[in-house]
Amino acid sequence: MNITVIGSGNIGSALVNGLLRRGISPENITMADINREALAVFASKGVIVTQDNVEAVKSADMIVLCVKPYLVQPVIEGFLPALSAQAVLISVAAGITLEQLSRLIGKRALFRVIPNTAMAVNQSMTCIAAENASPEQEKAVLDLFGLVGKTAVIDESLMNAATVIASCGTAFALRYLRAATVAGIELGFRPDLAVGMVAQTMSGAAALIAESGCHPEQEIDKVTTPKGITIKGLNELEHAGFSSAVIKGILAAYSVFEK
């Protein structure tokens, strides 16, 4: 299968790096962008690169559109005449609906996808909504993004919420990592050791929930003893509004879609 990625920004780069990491042949990946320097990085890895979107889509089975939302229309209109009837279009542009894509490209297999930058290390949470797609095409897209993390098929009405939880959520989680690292430094650890300790602790905590299916509070209870140090820290976090701040931050991010 030939995959074309249009856009070499953070998301496009993360996808290609994740695919290469999983052993996908670079000869099956084409990356298109106007940025010569960005393309040179991927050319050195064996990826086919071009500044011509029309050339990039000619032999593509899947086109992953990794451009800013305001560029979606001009980019699609630019390569549309060269698009084969069987090609599947996948958009990762936040806020661009399947209906909008359909108006631009006509009735064909379309996918709206929200991944995150952890694709680069094969740990993305990718949410997918489809239109006019066959079961085989849906499976192909799930398989593609399954190479770079976990996937979930959701109703398109939840896609903006998925953007906030699974895409913006990376930044929210990393802000906790940064804060805990700063605390660790104050307690005496070197910065590199502190960040490594916190990152591994977060990874382990997430794995406990992902693999067990337990509610987070069940795992919290296992390390929270009466009059212990964990409950003291948890209560101080809540007194300072930790849970409320997280919820308010997520809802504030979502409100951008409603303007």
pLDDT of residue 106: 87
- CA torsion through residues 38, 40, 46, 52, sign: positive
User: What fold does the segment set 3-154 form as a domain?
Assistant: Rossmann fold (3.40.50)
Rounded CA-CA distance 152/162 in Å is 10
Percentage above 70 pLDDT, the chain: 100
- Residue 194's pLDDT band (boundaries 50, 70, 90)? very high
Cα(159)–Cα(241) distance, integer angstroms? 28
Fold of 162-258: ProC C-terminal domain-like fold (1.10.3730)
Kindly provide the b/e burial profile for residues 232-242, where b requires at least 16 CB atoms within 10 angstroms of the residue's own CB.
Answer: eebeeeeeeee
Distance of alpha carbon 126 from alpha carbon 124, whole angstroms:
6
- The partner residues of 9 in beta bridges, in order of sequence, read none
CB 31 within 8 A of CB 48: yes
Domain boundaries, the chain: 3-154, 162-258
pLDDT of 21 above 90: yes
The dihedral through the CA atoms of 177, 115, 31, 65 has a sign that is: negative
What average pLDDT does this structure show over 8-24? Answer: 97
Rounded alpha-carbon distances, angstroms, from residue 135 to 1, 98, 138: 17, 17, 5
Q: What would you report as the CA-atom Rg of the chain, rounded to the nearest whole angstrom? A: 21
- 137-150 pLDDT, tens digit each: 999 999 999 999 99
Torsion of the alpha carbons at 108, 155, 91 and 93, rounded to the nearest 10? 140
| Mean pLDDT along residues 100-120 | 94
Q: pTM of the predicted model, to two decimals?
A: 0.92
Note whether 32 and 67 are within 8 A (CB): no
| Tens of pLDDT, residues 199-238 | 999 999 999 999 999 999 999 999 999 999 999 999 999 9
> Percentage of the chain surpassing pLDDT 90?
94
Position 258 scores a pLDDT of 82
Q: Is the pLDDT of residue 259 over 80?
A: no
Grade residue 178 by pLDDT with cuts at 50, 70 and 90.
very high
Calculate the average pLDDT of the chain. Answer: 96
pLDDT of residue 85: 86
| pLDDT value, residue 97 | 95
- Are 40 and 64 in contact, with CB atoms under 8 Å apart? no
Write the pLDDT tens digit of every residue in 234-255: 999 999 999 999 999 999 999 9
**35-94 confidence digits (pLDDT tens):** 999 999 999 999 999 999 999 999 999 999 999 999 999 999 999 999 988 899 999 999
Residue type, 223: V
